[in-house]
Amino acid sequence: MKAIDIHVHFSTAEARRKSGAYGDALETYFKIKLDVLTEDEMAKVFQDQDIMAVLLPYDDESVSGVKPITHEYVAEMVNRYPETFIGFAGVDPWKGKAAIDELERAVKDLGLRGAKFQQGGQAFFPNDIRFYPLWEKCVELNIPVLFHCGTTGLGAGMPGGMGIKLKYMDPLPIDDVAADFPELTIICAHPAWPWTDVSIAMAIHKANVYIDLSGWSPKYFPPGLVREINSRIQDKALFGTDYPYIKPDRWLRDFEKLELKPEVRQKILMDNAKKVLGL
């Protein structure tokens, strides 16, 4: 294993069912046509690159009305390819106690190892105290939480953005959660444009905040982000692709062209993720 991809979505038929119209918009946003792969074919994408991948489902049923990918499906993928996949849970914060109970079941009974949230699709602010019992449960379960940060491909370029509101994805509300739950490990996903500097500041200021570098090819990283991952947040930055929208071979190829210290490359590709995931 040469790297851990902290940000991977499913490319199987089950995922396409879940994405629906959002999937069409995402293809337009990323200027790609997504292949629908079998489970074996998806696993081979990462096996061929010697990469372990963190699978990220999420549940926005209260907003979209669409049933989520089940945690059984995620756990089945992990159990079938234990050297390739790690699974996170994805619960709908608006489901209250049912979400908390499902998160506990996914971790304790099914062996999933984190929680993923997409605040735009789920239409919530993480610092709303109505959701604090969720973060308390994550601390109790000793799992990291990954929040989407910055603009999103969900609904991008469509009329009204398909109802997705960017205000929910400003990373600053996550700073409240990091301060109020210092034992909670938080991953701010993506370079977080147009709030990149906010995300970087949080990673510098809060020992429990990390950022992942998914969703952008490294050749498009702002110079300030490259400077910071090569210096002040070299222990806080995590390799992530946003697969299948960006393939791991392309991301790694572009990453090699960045002017980074060799020891920083190792931290970003592997060491920081091992720490976050408790490997």
Judged against a pLDDT cut of 60, whether residue 20 lies above it is answered with no
What is the rounded distance in angstroms from the CA atom of residue 85 to the CA atom of residue 52?
Answer: 6
**Which residue has better confidence, 158 or 111?**
111
Percent of the chain with pLDDT over 90: 84
**Which residue has better confidence, 58 or 153?**
58
> 5, 20, 59: which is closest to 158 by C-alpha?
20
Amino acid at 72: E
- Per-residue confidence at 157, pLDDT binned at 50, 70, 90? confident
The pLDDT, as a whole number, for residue 162 is 80
Residues 42-58 have a mean pLDDT of 96
- 56 φψ region: left (φ > 0), alpha (ψ -120 to 50), beta (else): beta
Domains of the chain, start order: 3-277 (3.20.20.140)
> 232, 141, 242: which is closest to 184 by C-alpha?
141
The pLDDT, as a whole number, for residue 66 is 87
- Per-residue confidence at 35, pLDDT binned at 50, 70, 90? confident
Judged against a pLDDT cut of 80, whether residue 123 lies above it is answered with yes
- The number of CA neighbours under 13 Å toward the Cβ of 151 is 11
> 58, 112, 59: which is closest to 86 by C-alpha?
112
- Per-residue confidence at 19, pLDDT binned at 50, 70, 90? low
Tokens of 121: 């699709």
Tokens of 87: 């699974």
Asked which of 22-26, 181-185, 205-209 is least confident by mean pLDDT, the reply is 22-26
The pLDDT, as a whole number, for residue 24 is 66
Model pTM score: 0.94
The pLDDT, as a whole number, for residue 26 is 66
